[in-house]
């Protein structure tokens, strides 16, 4: 590979100055080809059409086909009894409470900034905005690889704090079970008052939320991370008038570090997102080749302690999918990070360089500063959004917060004098664009 450096055991290593356009482009594009695979898109589109046409029957058949779970339409919704029985260990229950408290604090502070406003833009003309929650939201929580109560509360707390009147959550049943839903997810929903929870296959559940079925309510907006199939389903549902987020695909992280970083901690932090799956991408950008060497040695040691499936995922994330990029200075590192636009970004540099680096970063789902702010703390407890745009969409979108579930309506009010002042401009533009009724409406008022 252009720019590769020998002698590494875990991280693919490249020098930015030696990477050609193909190598740089491949680093930036990560995952998009899998997400938008034509064959997978056709398959998901057919599934969506089936759910639109046959409703609950299609949802149940998808659950049987893809998840091996046989349930009837009346069993799609999680029962009151299941909610009441759901339980987790005391330490997990306390951790969920801790996380919810932090998320509430963050999102309630954001809501304080989201208030109605108005100004008098000229005498007699008042303009402003009214901010209200969307009427309904659908939340998708994955279940295939592990238990994800953190995803449930990262999605549900912002929706609840925003005041969304109708919130529904869909989640695939526990793999290998008889249809039961992860009790940790139900505990989260119970704590937050989310009662409409449905056991469904991921893509079919996305479609069911978008169209509405006999037992699953139709919603206006759907959010939640998942597999390429789940992501494609959300993208496809936009064609049917449903709002979704772009994109919440395979996880990714990027760390900017200089030689002040502790390589052992740095390796540990790189493994946080790397262990998610073989489709994850993890990148270290550093000015120090010696740090890269030390991190690679630490990674090799720490990988030996991980379960096999997690170690395999991490080696893919740090090897062919990502790796280490050596740069000449931190300005170049910032430029690469902004082009990459990572889901998760950590800055580990000297105190004197922190402001320079952070001020220069504009494209990232989140920015975590220093080695006391690891990705795992942000994923679980800190309270900043952890459901974040992936695959470069941090260029144009943000993480899921209360603001995700709000909308803004413009309001204006003019008196007669203000309208009279604007009339010549309106008439000139109406004539220029060929809309006579636009002008006539104002001419009537001049009589």
So which residues are the catalytic ones? 343-344
Provide the pairing of β-strand 125-133 with 406-414: antiparallel
Backbone angles phi, psi at 400, to 5 degrees: -85, 115
Query: Within a 10 A sphere around the Cβ of 7, how many other Cβ atoms?
Result: 7
CA separation for the pair 272, 374 (Å, rounded): 8
Asked whether the beta carbons of 209 and 168 are under 8 A apart, the reply is yes
C-alpha 145/C-alpha 141 separation (Å) is 11
Residues 198 and 169: beta-carbon distance below 8 Å: yes
Residue 239 CA to residue 260 CA, distance in Å, equals 49
* Sequence-ordered list of residues with C-beta below 8 angstroms from that of 159, at least 6 positions apart, any chain: 137, 139, 167, 402, 404, 405
d(CA 245, CA 155): 12
Nearest alpha carbon to residue 133 among 411, 412, 403, 410: 403
Contact 139, 159 (CB under 8 A): yes
Q: What tokens does 51 get?
A: 């759910």
């Amino acid at each position: 590979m252009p720019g590769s450096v020998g002698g590494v055991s875990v991280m693919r290593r490249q020098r930015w100055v030696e990477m050609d356009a193909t190598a740089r482009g491949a680093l930036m594009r990560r995952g998009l080809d899998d997400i938008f695979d034509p064959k997978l898109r056709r398959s998901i589109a057919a599934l969506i059409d089936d759910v639109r046409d046959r409703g609950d029957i299609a949802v149940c058949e998808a659950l049987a086909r893809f998840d091996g779970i046989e349930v009837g339409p009346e069993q799609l919704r999680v029962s009151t009894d299941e909610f009441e029985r759901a339980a987790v260990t005391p330490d997990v229950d306390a951790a969920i409470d801790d996380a919810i408290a932090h998320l509430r604090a963050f999102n309630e502070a954001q809501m304080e900034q989201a208030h109605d406003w108005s100004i008098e833009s000229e005498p007699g003309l008042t303009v402003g905005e009214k901010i209200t929650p969307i009427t309904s939201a659908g939340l998708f929580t994955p279940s295939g690889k592990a238990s994800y109560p953190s995803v449930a509360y990262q999605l549900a707390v912002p929706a609840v704090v925003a005041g969304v009147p109708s919130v529904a959550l869909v989640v695939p049943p526990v793999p290998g079970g008889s249809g039961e839903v992860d009790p940790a997810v139900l505990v989260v929903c119970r704590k937050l008052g989310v009662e409409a929870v449905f056991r469904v296959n991921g893509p079919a559940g996305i479609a069911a939320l978008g169209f509405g079925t006999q037992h699953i309510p139709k919603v206006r907006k759907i959010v939640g991370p998942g597999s390429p199939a789940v992501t494609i389903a959300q993208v496809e549902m936009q064609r049917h008038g449903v709002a979704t987020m772009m994109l919440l695909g395979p996880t990714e992280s990027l760390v900017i570090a200089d030689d002040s970083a502790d390589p052992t901690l740095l390796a540990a932090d790189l493994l946080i997102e790397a262990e998610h799956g073989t489709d994850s991408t993890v990148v270290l950008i550093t000015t120090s080749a010696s740090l890269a060497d030390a991190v690679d040695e630490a990674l090799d040691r720490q990988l030996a302690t991980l379960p096999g499936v997690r170690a395999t995922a991490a080696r893919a994330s740090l090897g062919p999918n990502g790796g280490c990029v050596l740069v000449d200075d931190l300005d170049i590192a910032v430029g690469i990070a902004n082009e990459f636009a990572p889901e998760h970004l950590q800055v580990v540099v000297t105190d004197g360089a922190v402001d320079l680096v952070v001020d220069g970063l504009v494209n990232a789902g989140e920015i975590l500063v220093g080695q006391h702010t690891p990705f795992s703390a942000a994923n679980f407890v800190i309270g900043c959004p952890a459901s974040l745009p992936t695959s470069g969409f941090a260029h144009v979108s943000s993480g899921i917060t209360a603001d995700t579930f709000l909308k803004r309506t413009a309001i204006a009010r003019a008196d007669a004098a203000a309208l009279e002042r604007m009339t010549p401009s309106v008439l000139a533009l109406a004539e220029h664009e060929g809309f006579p009724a636009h002008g006539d409406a104002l001419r009537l008022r001049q009589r």
